[in-house]
Chain A
Amino acid sequence: MDRRQILVAVIGLALFALVPPLAGIFDQPFYVDMFARIMIFAIAAVSLDLILGYGGMVSFGHAAYIGVGAYAVGILSYYGIDNGFVQFPVAIAAAALIALVFGLMSLRTTGVYFIMITLAFAQMLYFLGISLEEFGGDDGMPAYRSEFAGLIDLTDADQFYYLVFAFLVAALVVTHRLIHSRFGAVVRGAKANERRMQAMGFPTYRYKLAAFTIAGTMCGIAGALFANWNEFVSPDAMHWTRSGEIMIMVIMGGMGTLIGPVLGATGLLLLEEYLPEWMEALIAGTGEHWMVVMGPILIAIVLFGRGGIYALFARRGGDDG
Chain B
Amino acid sequence: MDPLLLLEQAFNGLQFGVMLFLIAAGLTLVFGIMDLVNLAHGSLVMIGAYLATTFIGWTDSFILGLLLAIPAMFLVGVVVEVIVLRTLYLRNHLDQVLATFGLILFFNEIIRIIWGPISLYSGLPDYLSGHVEIIPGAPYPVFRLLIIAVGLLVALAIYLIVARTRLGMLIRAGASNNEMVGALGIDIKLLFTLVFALGAVFAGLAGMMLGPLTSVEPGMGEPLLILAFVVIIIGGIGSIRGAFVAAIVVGMVDTVGRVFLPVVLRAFVSDAAADTAGPALASMLIYILMAAILVVRPRGLFPARTG
A68 to chain B, nearest CB (A): 16
Give chain A residues whose Cβ lies under 8 Å from the Cβ of B118.
Answer: none
Query: Which residue of A has the minimal Cβ distance to B92?
Result: A58
Determine, out of A8-16, A71-79, A108-116, the stretch whose residues face the partner at the interface. A108-116
Per the 8 Å Cβ criterion, residues 261-300 of B in contact with A are 276-277, 279-281, 283-284, 287-288, 290-291, 294-295, 298-300
Q: Which one of B100-108, B139-147, B149-157 is at the interface? A: B100-108
A302 with B95: in contact, given A108-B294, A113-B300, A248-B101 (CB under 8 Å)?
yes
The answer for the CA separation of A291 and B43 in the assembled complex, in Å, is 15
Instruction: Collect the chain A residues with CB atoms within 8 Å of residue B94's CB.
Output: 52, 58, 247, 251, 255
A289 and B109 contacting across the interface, CB-CB below 8 Å: yes
**Is the CB of A299 closer than 8 A to any CB of chain B?**
yes
Segment 299-313 of A: residues with Cβ below 8 Å from B: 299, 301-303
Does residue B31 face the partner (Cβ distance < 8 Å to A)?
yes
Q: Contacts A58-B93, A289-B113 known; A248 to B98 CB distance under 8 Å?
A: yes
Interface check A117, CB cutoff 8 A: yes
Instruction: Tell me the smallest distance from the CB of A45 to a CB of chain B, in Å.
Output: 13
Known: A58-B97, A105-B291, A117-B291. A295 touches B280 (CB 8 A): no
Which residues of chain A come closer than 8 Å to B277, judged between CB atoms? 131
Within 8 A of B (CB), among A248-263: 248, 251, 255
| Inter-subunit contact A108/B280 (CB<8 Å) | no
Given contacts A58-B94, A120-B291, are A298 and B101 in contact (CB under 8 A)? yes
B20 within 8 A of A: no
Chain B residues with CB under 8 Å of A119's CB are 226, 229
List residues of chain B with CB within 8 A of the CB of A292.
105-106, 109-110, 113
B295 & A108 in contact (Cβ 8 Å cutoff): yes
> Closest approach, in angstroms, between the C-beta of B302 and any C-beta of chain A?
13
Asked if A5 is at the interface of the complex by the 8 Å CB criterion, the answer is no
Chain B residue total in the interface (Cβ 8 A): 44
Most buried by B among A105, A117, A130, A133: A117
A121 in contact (CB, < 8 A): yes
Q: List A contacts of B299 (CB < 8 A).
A: 109, 113
In the complex formed, the residue of B with least CB distance to A131 is: B280
Within 8 Å CB of A108, what residues of B? 294-295, 298
* Complex alpha-carbon distance, A291 and B105, angstroms: 6
A128: chain B residues at CB < 8 Å are 280, 284
Specify which of B37, B103, B226, B294 is in contact with A299 (CB 8 Å cutoff): B103
Q: Does B306 contact A (CB under 8 A)?
A: no
Which residue on B lies nearest to A255, using beta carbons? Answer: B94
Within 8 A of B (CB), among A66-117: 105, 108-113, 115-117
Q: Using A110-B298, A131-B277 as known contacts, list a sample of 15 further A-B pairs with CB atoms less than 8 Å apart, ordered by residue number in A.
A: A58-B93, A58-B97, A113-B294, A115-B37, A116-B233, A128-B280, A131-B276, A131-B283, A244-B97, A289-B113, A291-B108, A292-B109, A295-B106, A298-B99, A303-B87
- Minimum-distance CB pairs A-B, first 6: A131-B280, A295-B106, A298-B102, A295-B105, A292-B109, A291-B109
